Each structure stands twice: as C-alpha cells, then as structure tokens.
C-alpha cells in the first residue's frame, strides 16, 4: 500500500507576528496546519492497513514539505538562494539551516514532524476519541519517501541540510532526495509537478515533445523565476508594509491590520497571480478598494523600484515575458508615481502587471503530463503530481489496455479561492491524498486486477462570525 500526499508547506511564522500592545492582541495569521490533522490521517491509514491486511506501507511526501522561500528571515542580510545547489556553502548554507530550524521549531510543525518520526519507528497515535494512545502501526514494513519540489528545492542543497531533514523525518543518511518515485505495481509515476510549470522550474517542458523520466539534474538544482517572485516580491510585500508604517500604526489602524493579514495569506490565494486582486477585494466590508490602494501604493512603488535593476529578474523577464512586458512594467511605475488613491487607471494597470509578476496563469498541467515518455510508451497508468494546490483527476489517455490518468494531489493547507472574475475571494480548508494498492493487495473475487488507486479529496468550511480569519 502506497499513500501519496504533497504540498504541506511547513513555514516559519514567528518573524511575521506583530506583538500586541495592551490595547490590541498579537497580529498573526497562522498558516501551518493543526498537527491533529496529520495524527488523524496516520491513524486512518493504520485502520486501512489493518482492514485490508496489507504488510507493506509506503508514505510518499511528494514535494513542498518545507517552504524555504516563505520567510522574512531572508531579509536579515543580502544573501539569497538564487544559485545552483552546488554553489551553496559557507554563510548561505548556514542561512538555509537556520531557516530549516526556525521552521521545524514552529509548534504545529514540530508536532507534525513528531507524528512522521513516530510512523518511521513503526508507531502512531490513536485518535483523540481513544485517548491519543500510542500503538504499533499494523504494517510489517514501513517506509517514508520524500521528493523535493520547488519551494523545498534547498532541501537538496548540502549533505548537512539533507542529514538534518532526514533526522526531522525519522530517516537516515544524507543522500540526495529523489525527484520522482516510480512504482511497478500499480504502474505509477509520482512527481512533485513543478516540472510542468515554466515559472517554477528551470526547464520549459512546454517546448519538449517528450518529458523523460530523468529530467537533467541541473533543472532541479537551478533557481527559477518563482523563487525570486516568492521571496523578493510576495514575501517582501508584508515586510516592506511593516517597515513603511511601523507596528504601532498597523495595530491601531483596522484597515492596515486587515491588509497586513491579507499580505501574509498570499500562499493560499488561487490563482496566485490574483494576489493583488485579493488585496483590493472589498466584499468583506473590512475596507474599501480605495483605502487599500492608498496604503498599498507606496509599498508597491518600493517593490518596483527595488527589482527594477535586479539582474535575475531581468534574466527571467527575457526568458518568459512578452516582448512588451518591460514597457508595461515601466508604465506601471510611471502611473503609480502620478496619482494617489483616485488613480483607478494605475490601480487596474497594477492588477495586470501583478498577474505577470506573480506567475500568470499556469497552463493545464495534464496536457504536459501527457508528454511523459513512460505514458507514451504505455508503461504507466497514472501520473501523480501536486504543486498547483488544485486537486484533480483527468483522463489523459485511453487504449485497449487501460485508461490512464493524471491525478493531482492538491494541498494540505487553507485555500483562498477566487470567483471566476478574480475580484472576490473566499476561504476553505483542503486535504487530499491518494492510496495505491498492488494487484496482490486488491483481491477481487473472480477478477484479475493490475492494481488500484483510491482518491480522497476533502474540503471544510466553517461559517463563523466571530473569527475574521474564517470570514475571509
């Protein structure tokens, strides 16, 4: 039995908290998932193993486990991870390890990692209804596999980083983490899925007719446009907002407090290119679009001015932008300097520019999954990948031998979905996992199987009126 999960995005949150001042409580937005979800999930898997009487249990964590990009710790100095992994050493390696330790020390992350380590030792915690007791996990053999994604590209940086991650997960050694898991029975290829996203991968798979099983290592090692956009645009926005206005003014001003919290929520906005639209969404009544715009303009100006001459930004601009993109960027800078909050033209232009800078709209990943070489050769029946945070099952081929599917593992996070026009937003909790069973584990009376997959996708929405984080 093999279970696949992805996009847990463990994050460092402590440096984002604005301490309360007596009149106001701490201003914080919790992005890490409640660890009870992981304990409950593992307990469920124990029940499934026992019910099906399987002897082998493999858990595949398919990328974006640790989010090295999403932390303001990068702004304590000028170091950035925009280099190939083999160039990470000395102070930069120490910085990566510091971020890893800060992330692992977050209370929800610490408890979640304890649940994974316990599983690696062959134990698990029962559900709360049973008193949270420890028991032996019912499988005879247990193995945890960890694939790196784009937000945890740095997990493969150095032996010291890999060794520490192994310790945190209850694994051993410091060998490189793989980029895929290939299963024979059932015939499945598991990737993170950023291989299909030219904004977050250093190779443009859209230009390839065939995607080989082993994509060149340099494509995984190199920094990508998404690294820069996440760190020096999206993460920098709340950092600069705080620097511009000061903690006291943000705490005292309800508009600023709401804006700051929204700036911390960018990871969960889908599509992510709609982040700026989310900032200006006034449907909740927290503020008007004009009020939001008035406070955001100086910060957006600072961002555009700071990245204007950035060499990495211009390198990726030349690789992926439309020929007129630099002119659009200059126009946006000019419009921002012309007007204040009444300048609706600048506001609408900035929406469009942000769609480009935040990655645009990702092409349908299932179309690229169709180009997998093993799928073309009819050697696999499933391509399993995450990355987009959009759970999905899509038929990508069908022949006399079998139907073949692209299966997206979604995310284990809060999600902020948009309406079709990307002008208003909501909130929902998501959880997705895939279970794979070999032909020997799925015994059907009078039938021969070639393996089976079960897909589980759940959403939760609590309609509460006393919690502003739930209202959004």
Run of H or E residues at 396:
strand 392-398
- Average pLDDT of 298-323? 76
Nearest to 95 by CA among 12, 189, 166, 172: 12
C-alpha 446 chain-centroid distance: 43
Res. 84 pLDDT band, cuts 50 70 90: very high
Reported as a single tens digit per residue, the pLDDT across 336-352 is 565 554 566 666 666 66
Nearest to 300 by CA among 269, 328, 277, 276: 276
Please state which of the four CATH numbers 3.90.45.10, 3.60.21.10, 3.40.228.10, 3.40.50.620 is assigned to the domain occupying 2-225+365-471: 3.60.21.10
Per-residue confidence (pLDDT) for residue 408, from 0 to 100: 97
| pLDDT of 99 higher than 70 | yes
> What percentage of the chain exceeds 70 in pLDDT?
86
Reported as a single tens digit per residue, the pLDDT across 373-407 is 999 999 999 999 999 999 999 999 998 888 999 99
Nearest to 296 by CA among 358, 351, 251: 351
> Contact, 341 vs 289, CB < 8 A?
no
Res. 302 pLDDT band, cuts 50 70 90: confident
DSSP category for residue 175? P
Reported as a single tens digit per residue, the pLDDT across 143-188 is 999 999 999 999 999 999 999 999 999 999 999 999 999 999 999 9
Per-residue confidence (pLDDT) for residue 354, from 0 to 100: 67
Q: Using CA of residue 133, residue 137, residue 142, residue 148, what is the dihedral sign?
A: negative
Per-residue confidence (pLDDT) for residue 472, from 0 to 100: 45
DSSP class per residue in 119-162: HHTTEEEPPGGGTS-EEE-S-SEEEEEEE--STTGGGGS-HHHH
Per-residue confidence (pLDDT) for residue 409, from 0 to 100: 97
Per-residue confidence (pLDDT) for residue 324, from 0 to 100: 47
DSSP category for residue 359? T
Q: Say which residue, 465 or 224, is predicted with more confidence.
A: 224
Tell me the average pLDDT of the chain: 88
Per-residue confidence (pLDDT) for residue 92, from 0 to 100: 98
Question: pTM for the complete prediction?
Answer: 0.91
Give the C-alpha separation, 216 to 220, whole Å: 7
| pLDDT of 434 higher than 60 | yes
- Average pLDDT of 425-454? 83
Residue spans of the domains in the chain: they are 2-225+365-471, 226-357
Tokens representing residue 74 in the block: 């990068």
Res. 332 pLDDT band, cuts 50 70 90: low
| pLDDT of 271 higher than 80 | no
Per-residue confidence (pLDDT) for residue 316, from 0 to 100: 75
| pLDDT of 131 higher than 90 | no
Per-residue confidence (pLDDT) for residue 240, from 0 to 100: 95
Q: Say which residue, 350 or 68, is predicted with more confidence.
A: 68
Res. 270 pLDDT band, cuts 50 70 90: confident
Q: Beta partners for 430?
A: 459
Q: Say which residue, 407 or 445, is predicted with more confidence.
A: 407
Tokens representing residue 149 in the block: 């994604």
């Amino acid at each position: 039995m093999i279970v696949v999960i992805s996009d847990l995005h463990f994050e460092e949150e402590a440096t984002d908290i604005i301490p309360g001042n007596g009149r106001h409580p701490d201003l914080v937005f919790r992005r890490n998932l409640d660890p009870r979800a992981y304990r409950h999930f593992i307990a469920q898997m124990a029940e499934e193993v026992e019910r099906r009487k399987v002897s082998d249990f493999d858990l595949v964590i398919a990328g974006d486990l640790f989010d090295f990009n999403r932390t303001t710790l990068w702004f304590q100095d000028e170091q950035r991870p925009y280099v190939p992994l083999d160039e990470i050493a000395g102070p930069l390696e120490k910085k990566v390890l510091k971020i890893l330790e800060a992330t692992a020390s977050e209370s929800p992350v610490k408890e979640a990692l304890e649940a994974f380590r316990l599983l690696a030792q062959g134990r698990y915690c029962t559900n709360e209804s049973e008193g949270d007791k420890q028991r032996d996990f019912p499988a005879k053999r247990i193995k945890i596999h960890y694939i790196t994604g784009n937000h945890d590209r740095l997990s493969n940086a150095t032996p010291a980083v890999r060794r520490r991650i192994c310790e945190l997960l209850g694994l051993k050694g410091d060998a490189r983490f793989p980029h895929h898991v290939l299963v024979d029975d059932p015939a499945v290829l598991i990737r993170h899925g950023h291989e299909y996203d030219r904004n977050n991968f250093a190779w443009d798979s859209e230009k390839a007719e065939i995607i080989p099983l082993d994509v060149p290592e340099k494509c995984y090692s190199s920094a990508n446009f998404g690294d820069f956009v996440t760190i020096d645009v999206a993460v920098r926005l709340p950092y600069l907002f705080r620097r511009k206005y000061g903690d006291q003014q943000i705490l005292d001003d309800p508009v600023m407090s709401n804006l700051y919290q929204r700036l911390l929520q960018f990871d969960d906005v889908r599509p992510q290119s709609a982040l700026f639209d989310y900032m200006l969404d006034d449907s909740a009544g927290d503020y008007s679009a004009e009020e939001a715009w008035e406070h955001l303009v100086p910060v957006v100006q600072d961002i555009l001015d700071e990245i204007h001459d950035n060499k990495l930004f211009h390198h990726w601009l030349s690789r992926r932008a439309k020929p007129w993109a630099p002119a659009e960027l200059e126009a946006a800078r000019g419009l921002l300097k012309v007007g204040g909050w009444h300048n609706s033209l600048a506001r609408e232009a900035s929406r469009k520019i942000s769609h480009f800078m935040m990655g645009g709209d990702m092409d349908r990943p299932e179309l690229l999954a169709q180009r997998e070489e093993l799928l073309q050769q009819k050697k696999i029946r499933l391509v399993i990948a995450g990355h987009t945070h959009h759970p999905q099952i899509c038929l990508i081929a069908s022949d006399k031998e079998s139907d073949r599917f692209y299966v997206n593992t979604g995310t284990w996070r809060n999600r902020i979905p948009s309406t079709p026009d990307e002008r208003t937003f909501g909130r929902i909790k998501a959880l997705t996992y895939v279970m794979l069973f070999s032909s020997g584990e799925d015994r059907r009376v009078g039938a021969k199987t070639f393996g089976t997959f079960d897909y589980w996708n759940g959403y939760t929405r609590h309609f509460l009126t006393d919690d502003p984080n739930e209202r959004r």
